[in-house]
Structure 1
């Protein structure tokens, strides 16, 4: 083990993170989850040594040195492994792992690029949830994949970092003709869309009996469904993306009505478990990704409804650092290619690739905020406003 690697135990955490651009990722590989002392701008990191941090957390400093040394050795022989982080819907996690394995094989290795894949319900420590705190792009992976209206779309990140100076752009791509009218591809090519997550209604025929089936978002906000709707989330924590869509399309009062009607956040698999049983734990209507709606339609008595005013759809995209190694460009091209597109569409996340068949019904229509809206309005401010309105609505019916 080289002396310079051994010396890092005496580095402050701040100095280590500055010297090693992938230092945060190395700490996570060693078993340290995200916490303030890992951040360069945290006061404690300027005084706490790396060795002290590891020992305090019950980790073997020598094992960490071996990890760092192994990374150095790999970098000297094959070039450093690519650092990839993907924060995606849970149903896309397994297909994405397949795609990354394919990428590793294409690059002539039996293993994929080093990747950290998190699902959206576990995203507290992911880069896509920290866009407003990034002060140094060294904190970002070589390739970041994210879904939904996350903080990488907030103005704090978008206006400072999301430029061709920092990220490799791919504007003017050909797009699947079924999806082209919706403008999912970023005109500037910075946010390189790969596919789309689409949300539809799933109606429980037992619990919704006697009520008109909601066939549009406006119908879902009707008083007939007060505290009888579930959206993606967990308990009181619900997805904010739906709130943003409702606010943009129908206004502030509609978000309050959404809050009034939503009983709780539930994972779609929980909803499917109770469909058709008449269980009081189940809502009459659930808004869920098309992947899970398909499962519900197959496994349980359920009615899948495509809102006639457009199913909410959100692209998942990749940000690719500029001036990266050649293998980074190869990986990015692979992720936008037909092979990965078929993997995504096969899981009912429509691919933007023009040669991949779209898995959506022909009559389906989609709706989303659009790139102009995202660039003209600060998503962080919209998100805060929508959350306040939603909670006001929930307060009207909360026991």
Structure 2
């Protein structure tokens, strides 16, 4: 193994023989005669490294620094490159990135990690476009995103799923007890997709706008004729809106999607929904929103948060990891599934974690709705989402009976 320290009394020959990279650097600095092994041994043994460098006006410290920079560049160029890409839920993106970068700074991985994790509000169009016509080898090594659209497009990611390209690297055997329900099985039976948490959709009811109607307690209530032109949906939150469409389709078919469209009053950002009762505007009776935004509801006001009795529809936060990069990706996946990250998701963002050690602060009676892996296998979700959107929009415009 090469020495790391160069003493000024060391001979030029000793430095070229014992210090890795020194000969190549000296040749680049103009010591061309060192390229001849006999000459290098002949005069290199009678001159010190310091005196040799002085002939070129270079100090030993400067030479040592150049050598270190050269080694770093060579190391970076030969290291395996690992790439992460995807989106993070907006409420937790900044603290999660800060925590991740701090964790990363304390580790010296034998690979170069490149990551691009944008806010979920930007959608995944940028990522989808960047993957156009890419081979499996060209894909990022780790994806993270909520929702069903791109990851379950059978013409894109579907072909990689069929080729068994990904592997679930979750290290714990069972998921959080919150998801230990008969109809909730979040673990991918094909052991390819992973999850770190979920985004639940709940109701925010404006009791002032209800009139003589009862507070809706289920998705069946939301789809009743009583709430025609009374519901606000997070259409701009693509991941959660798509999850709502798919779950309604699974339980009520196209008729349910049409009824949801008829009951739709308008689309609002969740932050607008919370304050809609204070504005002079057409106010929805019920808004459907991510559970996170219920933190903004003031006690004693007309806005009441309701967790659906038949379960909050969830949009899972997925991980996709390349099987061939398992060795490099395992510590990163372990971090993303750690209790520390789980608490950031759950406590900062009200996005329940799948880690069994995390206290999600969700009442045990609260249930979830999840479309399930059988449904995912049955349909091309990207095409089904487009079909549901079409029915929904037509119903909103009164074109569907």
| TM interval, short-chain normalised | 0.7 to 0.9
Report the counterpart of residue 150 of structure 1 in structure 2.
149
Q: Taking structure 1 as reference, are residues 166 and 361 closer, same or farther at Cα in structure 2, changes over 3 Å only?
A: same
Kindly indicate whether residue 304 of structure 2 is the aligned counterpart of residue 285 of structure 1: no
Q: Taking structure 1 as reference, are residues 254 and 348 closer, same or farther at Cα in structure 2, changes over 3 Å only?
A: same
Report the counterpart of residue 91 of structure 1 in structure 2.
91
Q: Taking structure 1 as reference, are residues 336 and 137 closer, same or farther at Cα in structure 2, changes over 3 Å only?
A: same
Q: Taking structure 1 as reference, are residues 216 and 331 closer, same or farther at Cα in structure 2, changes over 3 Å only?
A: same
In 2, distance between residues paired with 1:319 and 1:236?
19
Contact kept, 8 Å, 2:353 with 2:360, in 1: the verdict is: yes
Of 195-204 and 336-345, more deviation after overlay is shown by 336-345
Contact kept, 8 Å, 2:243 with 2:314, in 1: the verdict is: no
Shift of 1:391: 1.7
Flag structure 2 segments of 5+ consecutive residues without an equivalent. 1-69
Q: Taking structure 1 as reference, are residues 357 and 121 closer, same or farther at Cα in structure 2, changes over 3 Å only?
A: same
Give the secondary-structure state (helix, strand or coil) at the position aligned to 1:201: strand
Give the secondary-structure state (helix, strand or coil) at the position aligned to 2:273: helix
Flag structure 1 segments of 5+ consecutive residues without an equivalent. 1-69
> How does the TM-score come out when normalised to structure 1?
0.72
In 2, distance between residues paired with 1:260 and 1:327?
50
Q: How large is the Cα RMSD of the aligned pairs?
A: 3.3
In 1, distance between residues paired with 2:217 and 2:235?
22
Shift of 1:249: 0.7
In 2, distance between residues paired with 1:220 and 1:167?
38
Give the secondary-structure state (helix, strand or coil) at the position aligned to 2:248: helix
In 2, distance between residues paired with 1:291 and 1:299?
19
Residues 248-307 of structure 1: per-residue CA shift (max 9 Å, x gap): 111211110101111232210111232x32632542211111111232256954111111
Kindly indicate whether residue 274 of structure 2 is the aligned counterpart of residue 272 of structure 1: yes
Report the counterpart of residue 369 of structure 2 in structure 1.
367
Give the secondary-structure state (helix, strand or coil) at the position aligned to 1:270: helix
Give the secondary-structure state (helix, strand or coil) at the position aligned to 1:166: coil
Kindly indicate whether residue 351 of structure 2 is the aligned counterpart of residue 349 of structure 1: yes
Q: Taking structure 1 as reference, are residues 381 and 301 closer, same or farther at Cα in structure 2, changes over 3 Å only?
A: same
Q: Taking structure 1 as reference, are residues 285 and 153 closer, same or farther at Cα in structure 2, changes over 3 Å only?
A: same
Give the secondary-structure state (helix, strand or coil) at the position aligned to 2:105: helix
Of 184-193 and 117-126, more deviation after overlay is shown by 117-126
In 1, distance between residues paired with 2:208 and 2:269?
20
Give the secondary-structure state (helix, strand or coil) at the position aligned to 1:251: helix
Report the counterpart of residue 310 of structure 2 in structure 1.
309
Contact kept, 8 Å, 1:163 with 1:190, in 2: the verdict is: no
Of 264-273 and 243-252, more deviation after overlay is shown by 264-273
Bigger CA radius of gyration: 2
> How does the TM-score come out when normalised to structure 2?
0.72
Residues 227-251 of structure 1: per-residue CA shift (max 9 Å, x gap): 2211113499993321111111112
Give the secondary-structure state (helix, strand or coil) at the position aligned to 1:212: coil
Q: Taking structure 1 as reference, are residues 113 and 133 closer, same or farther at Cα in structure 2, changes over 3 Å only?
A: closer
Q: Taking structure 1 as reference, are residues 287 and 390 closer, same or farther at Cα in structure 2, changes over 3 Å only?
A: same
In 1, distance between residues paired with 2:263 and 2:398?
10
Report the counterpart of residue 176 of structure 1 in structure 2.
176
Give the secondary-structure state (helix, strand or coil) at the position aligned to 1:396: coil
